[in-house]
């Protein structure tokens, strides 16, 4: 799993922590964007605008991961 990245969507509930809203999506070279997008679209409470923001953030994370050669360890 060292050369994989996993993304999942959680919702922060103040005073209670986080609640998972999606399964983790693991990928090696590129994320299965259609699966992640479909999962978000199935959540009617996520607005179109918020969904675009989330997908753009996921894309940014994946691009950073790819540019790092699959090594995003914190230092």
Q: Mean pLDDT, to the nearest integer, of 67-74?
A: 69
Tell me: pLDDT of 14 over 90: yes
Q: What are the sequence ranges of the domains in the chain?
A: 5-67
Strand-pair category, 5-7 with 25-27 = antiparallel
- Region of 27 (left: φ > 0; alpha: ψ -120 to 50; beta: rest) is beta
In this prediction, residue 31 has a pLDDT band, given cuts at 50, 70 and 90, of low
Pairwise CA distance, residues 32 & 62, whole Å: 11
Token pair, residue 6, equals: 């996993």
Please give the pLDDT value at position 68.
Answer: 79
Class of domain 5-67 (CATH, top level) = alpha beta
Token pair, residue 75, equals: 């230092």
Half-sphere exposure of 75 (CA within 13 A, CB side): 2
């Amino acid at each position: 799993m060292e050369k994989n990245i996993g993304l999942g969507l959680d919702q922060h509930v103040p005073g209670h922590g986080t609640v998972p809203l999606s399964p983790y999506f693991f990928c090696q070279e590129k994320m299965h964007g259609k699966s992640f997008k479909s999962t978000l679209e199935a959540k009617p409470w996520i607005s179109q605008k918020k969904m675009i923001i989330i997908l753009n953030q996921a894309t940014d994370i994946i691009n950073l991961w790819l540019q790092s050669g699959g090594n995003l360890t914190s230092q």
